[in-house]
Amino acid sequence: MADLHERLHTTDDGGCVVVNPERVVLGLVSREALEADADTLIADVMQPSPVTFRPHIEAGKLPEYVNSQRMRRALVTTSDGVLVGLLRL
């Protein structure tokens, strides 16, 4: 978490996406989880296997689901889970 705290101190998003070296999405670290001690492992505080959306989804279909789930962001990935983008909502 110490590394993450240092990287995020300049952002206003308040959380981050966790990916492996191949950019496959592993999880999300919430704003609240950032309160963890510096020696805490990210794996211990991240939400594993977050909901993701494919690039071909129609933009008009996204808001209803996202609003019903009270999501602050939507992850866009390939079918293999590789991060393509992030929509802030």
Distance CA 65, CA 57 (A): 12
Count Cα neighbours of 57 within 13 Å in the Cβ-side half-sphere: 19
pTM: 0.77
Domain annotation for the chain: domains and CATH numbers:
2-88 (3.10.580.10)
Higher per-residue pLDDT: 62 or 48? 48
- pLDDT tens for 30-44 read 877 877 888 888 899
The pLDDT of residue 31 is 75
- pLDDT tens for 63-76 read 778 888 888 788 99
Mean pLDDT of the chain: 83
Distance CA 45, CA 63 (A): 27
pLDDT level of residue 60 (50, 70, 90 thresholds): confident
